Structure 1
Amino acid sequence: MARIEEPDGRVLGAGVLLAPDRVLTAAHVVRPGQAYVVHFVGVPGVPGVAATVREDEYVPQQRDTFGDRSGDLALLRLAEPLPAAHTTRLYRLAAPHGPVSMYGFPVGDDGGRWHGATLVAARGRDHQVQLRPETPGELAEIGFSGGGVVDHETDEVIGIVLSVDEGPGSLFSYMSPTETILSHLPQVAAWTDGAEAVDPSLRTGAPGGGDRLDVPFATELASWFRGEGWPVLVTVVPARSDRAWTLSRAVTLADRELRTQRNTSAFGQDPPETVPPAGGHDLALDVRDMTAAQVTDRIAARLGIRGEPRPERLGALRVPLAAVLVGVDRAAEPDALLGLLDRLARQGARLLLVFRGRGDQADRAAASFVERPLGERWARLHRELDHIVDELGPALEDRRDRVLPAPGTRHLLDRADSGVRRTRLLRAWVAHTPEREADPRHADLLFTFEGAAGRRRRRLERAVALLDERLRRRDELLGRVTAEWPLCRERAASEGGDRVEDAYRLYELALSLLRHTPCDVDEAEAAARRFVGFCSGTAPGAEGGR
């Protein structure tokens, strides 16, 4: 818990002591060539330590053409080292999620303070992670910049605070996760724990393989790493081939830690559609000779799951796992491994399954993970569209013919009607493009159509339910009026005069309004109340009633 100050005592930000003479912080807190003083609030009796920043340990914040921020990291060198017992270490954690705490120094609190937050999601090309404060008062302030972020599940430091949304009403601050820090400052790896995402044999530059880019395959891989298409991709990549080199290139560039300015520039002449985004996967494993239990252990290590890593725990994450597994057909237990992966796929994981040779195992995996579930989803969409057009649409039309909507709900019914018409057009379009249903690359269309159909179905169900409630109220009023009439007629006849005629006039008006289609339930209810009130003597009648 380092507090970084100018020599005159003005607090600039926070930092993390990684080595006896190194403090990690945000670059916007410090500048090379200037003098600073670092205080360690968790080490009683230690005076402030002078510190400076070198140019080769300073990565200033930059913005690309899309406005995404990157970098903003620096290492302070202490003039006098502290005992190693006071240092901490960074920890690699795939797909950060869940509750965290951060330590910083808000204005007027030089002793520092813990704030709670929840990791929301990564954003931008530098894969910085949004932090949502637990309460509005816990939004990170300037004095938190550079402070450590501690994951509650593992109790590890998984990154540092970088910045805060500017302006009133800000809701988020941002964190640079450990692997993004390592991509900018690789020397920090000496003070980092946690499993690396990519096996050495799958990185660009590993021995063996070709050296030419397979552009169609690279484009397919980049699309998968961007989260496009069907979530499971099954492919065959022979070892020591151009496809193998293309796979290693994609896996390397999609990793937050391995993707650097140097290797990105090396592939700068490649078609842009072949370049995957950083953070496109959580891990890439060479599963040759590995058992299903060993794969489970590796996945659990990347996800920060401690204790016994049961398969069901691997899917209980708010952020789905994205994993590359190479050599599935060379695993020690291919069938058991495919069983584990099937469970993960059903829990929402994105999987890139690489087989080294064509054969029955690859064909069965393609059928099990892609062809069959993709076909089932399209069939379910067809049933959903039919249900909307052939059942819910006519049900809504029937009820609209029988009863008018309540005030303020007409817009909902009109939107539901419009949804039926659009769904009818969508069903016709889908029916005339059946070739898309067998192509996993067009799964995004499926997901879009599923979302639209689901929204329209829910809107229709709500509209039908509202009209059904109106119909039930109409039926209740009709039953009450018809049951009241014989008793009312007897009481009116016993009183003599024009009471029977007045009662009949009110009864006839209420009955006609209740039986009219479409029924205005509010108007009919008012007429029914006048009739019942007249009969009970609690309300005056109309046109001659007392």
Structure 2
Amino acid sequence: MGGYSHPIDPWRVRISVGKVIRGAGILLPDRQVLTCAHVVRQRGAERPAPEVLVEFVGMPTVSPLEATVAEGGWQPSFADRRGDLALLDLAGAVPAGRHAVLHQRSVRGRTVWVQGFPADTPDGAWVRAMIAGPTGPHDELMQLDPISTSGLRVERGFSGAGVLDEQTGQVLGMVVSAYADRDVSWMFPTETILDYLPGLAGEVTGTPPVDPAFQDRIDRLTEVGQAGELLRDVRELVDRLASAGATDVLNLVGDPPDRSVVLVVLVALADPRLRAALPVEMIAAVPADAVLPMRSIDLAVDAAGKTTEEVGRRIAERVGPPENGNARNGSGDALPPVTVVVDSVDQAADPESLLTEVLLPMADSRSTGRHARLVIGSRAALPTRSGATTLRLSGRGYSAPRSPDRPESLAGRLDRLDGLVDEVDAAETVARERFRAVASRIRGIPRPTERTPLLRLRATQLRAVGHSRPDEPRLSAGLAAVEHDVAEALRQARESLRRYDELLDRRARLRGLLDAYRARAVAGGFAEDIDLAARYEHAYRLLACGPCDLAAAEEAVHRYLPAVRQRLGTAVDRGEGAR
């Protein structure tokens, strides 16, 4: 089991509603408990139950306490199965210093333990599992595969349990659900928990997957005029990584602005949180084969100004050494390779020692026992090693932002105007294509605006004036007006895309909800129920047959759901079936 003894953890709690054990929870600081929303949900409703009791199985001498949902702590599951967290406030005090500390690190391939309270073992049962990889909507979940020799598996009663790293005892996340008839379950890693409950960030340890410097560069992407060129460079980088061996070093060479933008797009497209911050037209334009798998980049760090020890510590905290120096997990499988991106290596405090003492040894599986892929960014090619790959950017200059204290000249603004209009054209083209796709499925959606032709005409006229009469007094005012209208057109195109995506998501959530409740009705023995069948068919036809009236379909779906609940005699509990 490794060097960690799990039964001593005092933060383990059992949660009951109305004297019925519903699941587990994690004791946090400030008299709070983290669990799943469905564990404390009131039967037949989408709100918290009024009587929630927390028992401290990790501290048997502490009396049980009642609990209520904390302000901002209710995050029930969406129809597309995202969410499902609840943060509880305890009604009384608990011994100080006995709480858990959530830890963030790369978790793929880690061997873990979880304790739950299934119906036949109300005092608790432990299950050993391996974290397989990301899954679920937006890849916010990690899959748990059981490797227990006892034959036990994660099932109903484990929801809300802390996920303990076998080697370190760190709490890496929380169990959220399981299939009733399959040996598979899911957890929220700490990063996902923070997405829903950011107020817990101050109590979390470990290293986040992406350095703040990368997150700050997302804002720069709104100024990228040559998005097509940028995505071609990103795609080439992805192709090189995909074709490389399990152990590889790839040195991306180029000037800092361009190189850093390429790397931030590479990282953001594989990170759920950063991907949501990318310009929507950029995401829409990215081919599927130009994106690394979600959460496949274990760490992205900018080395500028950092010492060798600082970068080495971040890498060790995030991906860590192999368990007991062994490159296999508890199930005997080889640990998955790690992928680390380090930009600005040549701007580190000591580039040579960073390269020779930390980065290159990490990429050598003979010394670490684990395969690694390393992407390093620098102005000039670095002395890496035999077999490393160097990829040079073409110096297109697509990402140079303006300095706020050096206003751009009129000539420079005129030269840049065509690129800005091209951005509008690209965004409006994507919006029109999305409109056609959505209009075939949903009735009555507004058409996107088409302002590119007029903007291009105005830009051409201004450029002609600028070349023939650069001192024309009205040139500056006219240019400012066109720049304003270009920005507004781009905003409207992005807003149209967002609206269309929301409508498609809304329709997909309704279909998923309808199908899930249909499966529950069939499993409950109501496949031949005439009234349920009629309600289902009506809702299904509204959603699936031709452009649907979304409001009418939503009303029909929500007439079907309570009818199913009534037949089953209880609210659907996701712990009984597929999440």
> How far apart in 2 are the matches of 1:37 and 1:223?
55
Per the alignment, residue 184 of structure 2 pairs with 172
Matched, 1:73 2:70: no
Change beyond 3 A, Cα 1:149–1:33: closer
> How far apart in 1 are the matches of 2:131 and 2:179?
15
Per the alignment, residue 18 of structure 1 pairs with 28
Per the alignment, residue 149 of structure 1 pairs with 163
Per the alignment, residue 101 of structure 1 pairs with 113
Change beyond 3 A, Cα 1:302–1:77: same
- After TM superposition, the structure 1 stretch with the greater mean CA deviation from structure 2, 331-340 or 32-41, is 331-340
Per the alignment, residue 86 of structure 1 pairs with 98
Q: Is the 8 A contact 2:114 2:126 kept in 1?
A: yes
Per the alignment, residue 69 of structure 2 pairs with 53
List per-residue Cα deviations over 1:334-371 (Å, max 9, x = no partner).
Answer: 3443344334334231222111x2x3x34x55975127
CA positional deviation for 1:153: 1.4
Per the alignment, residue 359 of structure 2 pairs with 341
Q: Describe how 1:162-311 pairs up with structure 2 within 5 A.
A: 162-167=176-181, 170-204=182-216, 211-212=223-224, 214-218=227-231, 220-221=233-234, 228-230=242-244, 232-239=249-256, 241=257, 244-255=260-271, 258-259=273-274, 263=277, 270-273=284-287, 278-305=294-321
Residue 243 of structure 2: SS of its match in structure 1?
Answer: coil
> How far apart in 1 are the matches of 2:100 and 2:186?
21
- Given candidates 132, 136, 159, the residue that maps to 2:146 is 132
Q: Is the 8 A contact 1:234 1:366 kept in 2?
A: no
Change beyond 3 A, Cα 1:126–1:265: farther
> How far apart in 2 are the matches of 1:223 and 1:10?
56
Per the alignment, residue 385 of structure 1 pairs with none
List per-residue Cα deviations over 1:65-122 (Å, max 9, x = no partner).
Answer: xxxx543322122233433322111011213433211111121433323222223333
CA positional deviation for 1:223: 7.5
CA positional deviation for 1:127: 4.2
Residue 191 of structure 2: SS of its match in structure 1?
Answer: helix
Q: Is the 8 A contact 1:314 1:344 kept in 2?
A: no
User: Which entry has the higher C-alpha Rg, 1 or 2?
Assistant: 1
Q: Is the 8 A contact 1:2 1:17 kept in 2?
A: yes
Change beyond 3 A, Cα 1:61–1:217: same
If the length of structure 2 is used for normalisation, what is the TM-score?
0.54
> How far apart in 1 are the matches of 2:235 and 2:86?
31
Residue 139 of structure 1: SS of its match in structure 2?
Answer: coil
Count the aligned residue pairs.
355
**Unpaired stretches in structure 1, ≥5 consecutive residues:** 373-546
- State the AA in 2 paired with 1:319: P
Per the alignment, residue 377 of structure 2 pairs with 354
Q: Describe how 1:138-537 pairs up with structure 2 within 5 A.
A: 138-167=152-181, 170-204=182-216, 211-212=223-224, 214-218=227-231, 220-221=233-234, 228-230=242-244, 232-239=249-256, 241=257, 244-255=260-271, 258-259=273-274, 263=277, 270-273=284-287, 278-305=294-321, 318-339=335-356, 340-347=358-365, 348-355=371-378, 357=379, 359=380, 361-362=381-382, 365=384, 368-370=387-389
Q: Is the 8 A contact 1:233 1:351 kept in 2?
A: yes
> How far apart in 1 are the matches of 2:236 and 2:160?
34
Change beyond 3 A, Cα 1:268–1:236: closer
% identical aligned pairs = 32
CA positional deviation for 1:238: 2.9
- State the AA in 2 paired with 1:353: I
> How far apart in 1 are the matches of 2:91 and 2:171?
24
- After TM superposition, the structure 1 stretch with the greater mean CA deviation from structure 2, 21-30 or 328-337, is 328-337
Change beyond 3 A, Cα 1:225–1:298: farther
**Unpaired stretches in structure 2, ≥5 consecutive residues:** 1-11, 42-46, 366-370, 392-579
Give me the CA root mean square deviation. Answer: 3.6
> How far apart in 1 are the matches of 2:159 and 2:195?
19
CA positional deviation for 1:266: 5.9
Per the alignment, residue 449 of structure 2 pairs with none
Per the alignment, residue 492 of structure 1 pairs with none
Q: Is the 8 A contact 1:342 1:369 kept in 2?
A: no
- After TM superposition, the structure 1 stretch with the greater mean CA deviation from structure 2, 137-146 or 286-295, is 286-295
